[in-house]
Amino acid sequence: MSQQPYEPRGHGGPPPLGAPPYATARPPRPPMTPDLRLLLRLTVASFVVAVLGGAVGYLAAPEQYSGVPAGTPFGTIALVISVLFGFGLTAGLYALVYFPLREQRQWAWILGIVFASMALLSTLANAVLVLVVATGTSIGLVTGALKAVVDVAWLVVAVRPGVRAALR
């Protein structure tokens, strides 16, 4: 006769009948609200404006992106690599917020608030520097202003109750 009962214990043993093995039961997602859809659209809009601002900045003053003059072959290669790295990093950071936010993860909402706040502060700091230091390239102010408007709109929509209701 065995010392152990036949009933499955809490540790080890087969899964209960009807349960898939090694799966954790997730509660159903709350429905996606219109506010969360708007927040996702604003995330994409912010990415587009950031890429547009980077492209305008590159076209306006390519020598500012690397320490080497853009006319030399090494300078051109260094410039292309640095621009591609910058765009890739930007895309990665936006993907880090967009895709989990689409899956209604609350940590992505918090990360988005942090990133939008940092982007807004850096845009305002860049605008002050362009206005104080007369560099002659003030075309970045237009894309910077557009980026600031989108970031403020993102932050305003992010604190709506409809967004919080859709996150788990």
Q: CA-to-CA distance for 5 and 88, rounded, in angstroms?
A: 58
pTM score, whole prediction: 0.75
Q: Who has greater pLDDT, 20 or 9?
A: 20
pLDDT (tens digit per residue) in 65-79: 555 565 677 777 877
What does the DSSP 8-state code read for residue 63? Answer: G
Give the lowest-confidence range in 14-28, 80-94, 127-141, 154-168.
14-28
Q: CA-to-CA distance for 7 and 13, rounded, in angstroms?
A: 9
- Amino acid 62: pLDDT: 59
